[in-house]
Amino acid sequence: MTALLDVNVLIALGWRNHVHHTAARKWFTRSSSRGWATTPITEIGFVRISSNRRLMKVSTTPATAIAQLEALRRLPGHAFWPDDVPLVVGVGGDRAAVSTHRLVTDRHLIALAARYGGRLVTFDATLADSASAGVVELL
């Protein structure tokens, strides 16, 4: 089952100075042979957060972040998943699943993972609920 890396996992994988780099790298070494994916949302998030001085201890320029993203995409097993799930479809009609603004993107990524027969890989323990059982892997 292909793994859709959420933005935090992608950032941790891409930057050695990230607090979770070792955990992300270990997971990637163990699991990437089954395939891993990015989407427009995760790629944009990677560049945006990587180049934000408020969020990264060592930030970079957008151009450098894009170059790092391109290097990650060249690693074996990568697939790019188009974002072809409308938000309304993504929550499956269950508006209660998006109970806070912080869950909008997360629930959409879960819907994309389900759409492509994959799973969302994340550090975010709040996503391991019954609604996403089998579609979310926590690191």
Any known ligand binding at 106?
yes
- The SS3 of residue 120 is strand
Q: Is 124 annotated as a binding residue?
A: no
Rg of the chain in Å (alpha carbons): 14
| H-only helix segments in 32-75 | 40-50, 62-73
Give me the helix-helix angle, 40-50 and 7-14, nearest 10°: 50
If 0-12 CB within 10 Å is exposed, 13-18 middle and 19+ buried, where does residue 102 land? Answer: exposed
Detail the residues annotated as belonging to a binding site for Mg(2+): 6, 106
Annotated binding site: 6, 106
